Amino acid sequence: MIGTRIASRWQGQTLVIPTLHRKGLAIGAALGPALGVEIKELPIDTDRFGTFSMTVPRPEGALAALSAKVSAALKAHADVQIVVASEGSFGPHPSIPWLSVNLEYLRWHEARSGFELTVSSISLRPMHLTQRLTRLSELDGLLERFRFPAHGLMVAAPESLISAHTAITNTQALRDAVAITLKRHGAAELRSELRAHLNPTRMRHIERAAWRLANRLRSACPACAAPGFGEPVPMRGRPCAACGFPSSESLGRRWRCLCCAHQIDRLIPGYASPLRCPLCNP
């Protein structure tokens, strides 16, 4: 940590988590002991902001859904002081498109002061699988790979954006859903359930993100003492060893305060390979 380590200023306070998917267990496992807070789940239908089954689209993305969840919690209870909202996404890695990743966001929002902090965490090993079936007899050989029934499943028509059957956690219900889909479409797609309460791998990742949030909150700006200092922002443009032009290699990292203009840069000494230079190696 670059910032100043501080004691929790939220000791004894209660924070609410808008969720129907038991995320309070994972978030509370980190924020409870790290900040001394009490965790309360607020039963709000967050599926209306978008679902992984695509029955409700999420056209504006994860960050917009975070904002919607915070607003919904504040509207539901006027006396809420602290809201922690969680949102995740699954998809191809931005640089390695054949690699599936899970990106988790957590947002801390204080109603009275307006202070807000968002952290993210990426997992390169999500439980996010899809498999096409053409015969019901293929199903039994796939269950171990999908870690069923500890991880829930969805069943969809081939290449359909919408998963018609969701939250499947027992074998008979799964066989019925696959059989119906095969009869109607001639093939079926088996998909991992991605909601946190049905995907223990994702739930563990949410807890990891919550520890990151706790560490940020207990790291203060060296200049103004505001919490949240300490998440480095990568900087590109390390100078080329041959011509000095900014390359695609990392120049270093920057830490920036959320409340004042203070920032700290840590630059990487030396020069970049000409192979990473757009002039020397266009």
Question: pLDDT digits over 10-23, tens only?
Answer: 999 999 999 999 99
Between 100-104, 185-189, 226-230, 272-276, the lowest mean confidence (pLDDT) is in 226-230
The pTM of this model reads 0.89
Burial-class residue 183 by CB neighbours within 10 Å (0-12, 13-18, 19+).
Answer: exposed
Q: State whether 159 and 110 are in the same domain.
A: no
Range of the domain at 186: 130-192
The half-sphere exposure of 125 on its side-chain side, counting CA atoms within 13 A, is: 4
The number of distinct structural domains making up the chain is 3
**Pair (102, 185) in one structural domain:** no
Please indicate, yes or no, whether residues 50 and 72 belong to a single structural domain of this protein.
yes
In angstroms, the CA 189 to CA 53 distance is 12
| Residue 32 host element (H or E) | helix 23-35
Distance of CA 51 to the CA centre of its chain: 14
Residue 93: pLDDT band with limits 50, 70, 90: confident
φ, ψ dihedrals at 209, nearest 5°? -65, -35
Res. 60: pLDDT tops 90: no
* Same domain as 162, residue 215: no
Instruction: Specify whether 101 is located in the same domain as 50.
Output: yes
Q: Which pLDDT score, from 0 to 100, does residue 1 have? A: 55
Q: Identify the pLDDT of residue 116.
A: 94
Q: Give the pLDDT score at 118.
A: 95
61: left (phi over 0), alpha (psi -120 to 50) or beta: left
120-144 pLDDT, tens digit per residue, is 999 999 999 999 999 999 999 999 9
More confident residue, 58 or 71: 71
Gap between the terminal Cα atoms of the chain? 37
